[in-house]
Amino acid sequence: MAVRLTATEADIDAEPFARASFIARTPIDIENRRAMIDRIGRLSDSLIRFGSFGIGLDGILAWVPGLGELYSVAAGGFLLLEGYRARVHPVVLAQSAVIVLARTAIDFGNVAPVLGIGSSLIVDLFRGHRWAARMLVKAIDETIYLEGPENRTSPAYLDALTRIRRGGDKKRVVFLG
């Protein structure tokens, strides 16, 4: 015997499920998002190291017309998506988006069209994905994540506020409920 839901009932039941599976709900989810952001940053701009200089897929693919732009947009979008899923503050997400867009614009040649091949060299030097990834990871590391629904009178929240006010390394509290 099959149970059928009306469109309204299905929409009501589907929304919390979609939200719960998309946005981080546990400290493990946050840690997975953080690890993914760090991995994308390293893969994009620090895959091969030469002392303090590094090059990654982003710099290598910049030399292939079309492929560099595609990779830049995809990797940048994925960085921002993972940052959103980890509940990074919107200002940090916006700053990261500007960095990724600047990096992509360089690859498209819109910033320096007279340089031609020089824009690929600039991409190799401007490690925008790594920079954005580091910003996102820092924002995650500076956040206290509390499990459960928002409760501004809970002992855990009050303890977190006390630590922040004392000048601890954390600067923000996010409820994961």
**Per-residue pLDDT tens for 15-34?**
454 455 688 889 999 999 99
| pLDDT value at residue 4 | 44
Contacting residues for 129 by C-beta, under 8 A, at least 6 apart: 40, 41, 44, 45, 56, 58, 72, 75, 76, 79, 100, 103
Predicted TM-score (pTM) above 0.85: no
Contacting residues for 83 by C-beta, under 8 A, at least 6 apart: 33, 37, 92, 93, 96, 136, 139
> At 111, is the pLDDT very low, low, confident or very high (cuts 50, 70, 90)?
very low
| pLDDT value at residue 85 | 95
> At 138, is the pLDDT very low, low, confident or very high (cuts 50, 70, 90)?
very high
Mean pLDDT computed over 85-110: 86
The pLDDT mean for the chain works out to 80
> At 115, is the pLDDT very low, low, confident or very high (cuts 50, 70, 90)?
low
